[in-house]
Amino acid sequence: MLVDVDICGLKVGDEHPVRLMGVINLSKESFYKGSVVSNDSVLEVAHKMVDAGASIIDIGARSTWPLAQPVVGKEEELERMIPALGILKDNIDALISVDTVYSSVADEALKHGADIVNDVSGFTSDTHMIDVIAENDSPAVVMASKERPGDVIGMEAVMRSLASIIDRADSRGIDTDKMILDPAIGKWVPEKNPIYDFETMDQFESLRVFRKPLLAAISRKSCIDAVLHKPAAERLYGSLAAAAIVVHKGAHIIRTHDIPETKDVVEVAMAMRKRQSVVRNGDFGVEITDITHPDDAVYLMKNMGVTGTGARVMKNKTVSKVLRVNNITTTEALIIKQEMLARGGDAALERDAVSHETQQTDLLIIGTLLQFEKLVSKLSYQARDLPLIAKMIADVLENDMDVRQRYQR
């Protein structure tokens, strides 16, 4: 599952340094006023970011913050954007990205020196955006969205949205190897609870099944405020903590307002991120593919050409769990072990329990989710406390998948 792509000459992927995208806002209505820059200082600010380690400069001429007022139209966005691009083109040693949801703005920006289009609507706000990307053969950052920017809630919805965006782009002739995926961290819609951002960051590695560069835009977002209860100007350290987590879990690009501080954090987090185990010999290759959620396996198998039905049937075979059951009778433990062995799993218990020299024991059960489902079904109709134990096993596995159980404090 190694990611290794060339974005306008910039190498991005698992074997390359994590790239930093510096944010320059030309929009005074942006939520973080410290990121707002005038055209008079845009080149100076860009140079400082590049000198500090930025490989990409992301220019926004209209705030995408959902609460931004006033709402800026396409004409005004262009009036802000084009002069800034003229100043930066050929004058900075970095790629230039434009943060826009409008195809006409993107098209003009690409003609005036932009390298990348950053569409936070994932091609949903403007139906012609996908055509502009295809016609210009442009790299694009696409944010998980369904009908409006960031309206996906929960990791399942994020994954489903990104898979759909990739399929649509591929059907329209876009080189999807040049697409960079953004899982929409932030309160893009009022009904989105911060726990869903925590889920996305904690499960960031799930996005690796798409085999695309992954971008995390966390800098000073509302989910940081939900923990620290501080205004945007005071969320630096919280942002750095979140950045370290997503880099450790596989992010390739970090979009940030604070390049020098983020660079140090990213380098340390990257040093602690394990390398993907891959062995190649000629045309052959073997790699370890870690699946943490069964639905991730569905996307991976579909990308390989497995039928949707086949992928759904096999998904619960791709994730294994180890459960510890405490203080049950030796007889119950031995029954569970035999039932698990019959389903291809296994269980471990203390030596004295095997020889019936003790009446109580702890039990370690090892198996796939499918094996646990079958075990629960069988135990539910047996004697002693086995039905209760079965329900507890089912409950603990369900809680492990429940976003509120995992992240609500």
Non-local (6+) Cβ contacts of 15 within 8 A are 2, 4, 275
> How far apart, in whole angstroms, are the C-alpha atoms of residue 291 and residue 289?
6
Distance CA 7, CA 252 (A): 12
Q: Which of 261, 292, 315 is the last residue of a domain?
A: 315
Burial class (CB in 10 A: 0-12, 13-18, 19+), 399: exposed
* CA–CA distance, 256 with 224 (Å, rounded to integer): 14
265 & 182 share domain: yes
Give the separation between CA 173 and CA 196, rounded to whole angstroms: 33
Total residue length of the chain: 409
Instruction: Please check whether residues 224 and 262 belong to one and the same domain.
Output: yes
DSSP string, 101-147: S-HHHHHHHHHTT--EEEETTTT-S-TTHHHHHHHHT--EEEE--SS
Q: Which of 146, 151, 137, 148 is nearest to 165 (CA)?
A: 146
**What pLDDT score does 68 carry?**
57
178 phi, psi to nearest 5 deg = -95, 5
> Do 287 and 270 share a structural domain?
no
Q: State whether 21 and 163 are in the same domain.
A: yes
Q: What are phi and psi of 286, to 5 degrees?
A: -130, 130
pLDDT for position 73: 78
The pair of three-digit structure tokens given for residue 119, joined into one six-digit string: 């569409």
> Around Cβ 10, how many Cβ atoms within 10 Å?
17
Number of domains present in the structure of the chain: 3
pLDDT digits (tens, 9 = 90+) for 297-336: 999 999 889 998 999 999 999 999 999 999 999 999 999 9
* Same domain assignment for residues 361 and 221: no
> Among 324, 335, 339, which residue's Cα sits nearest to residue 383?
335
Please answer whether residues 179 and 139 qualify as being in contact, where contact means their C-beta atoms are separated by less than 8 angstroms: yes
> What one-character-per-residue DSSP string does 19-40 give?
EEEEEEE--TTSS-GGGB--TT
Cα angle for residues 156, 157, 160 (degrees, 5° grid)? 90
- The CATH number given to whatever domain includes residue 402 is 3.30.1370
Q: What does each C-alpha distance from 330 to 274, 334, 350, 379 come to in angstroms?
A: 40, 6, 9, 15
> Do 79 and 165 belong to one domain?
yes
Low-confidence ranges of the chain (pLDDT < 50): none
Question: Which structure tokens are listed for 251?
Answer: 């992010």
Q: Are residues 241 and 337 in the same domain?
A: no
Please check whether residue 185 is in contact with residue 223, taking contact to mean a CB–CB distance below 8 angstroms: yes
Q: What is the pTM of this model?
A: 0.91
What CATH number does residue 212 fall under?
3.20.20.20
State the sign of the Cα–Cα–Cα–Cα dihedral 32, 30, 193, 200.
negative
Query: Do residue 25 and residue 112 come from a single domain?
Result: yes
Are residues 350 and 206 both part of a single domain?
A: no
Secondary structure class of 375 (helix, strand, coil): helix
Domain C-terminal end among 255, 276, 297: 276
Q: Which two tokens stand for residue 218?
A: 């966390």
CA Rg value for the chain: 25
324 and 402, same domain (yes or no):
yes
Q: What is the pLDDT of residue 83?
A: 92
Same domain, 235 and 146: yes
> Both 145 and 46 in a single domain?
yes
pLDDT in tens, 170-207: 999 999 999 999 999 999 999 999 999 999 999 999 99
pLDDT at 29 (0 to 100): 65
Contacts (Cβ under 8 Å, ≥6 apart) of 146:
124, 152, 157, 161
3-state secondary structure of 367: strand
Domain hosting 229: range is 4-276
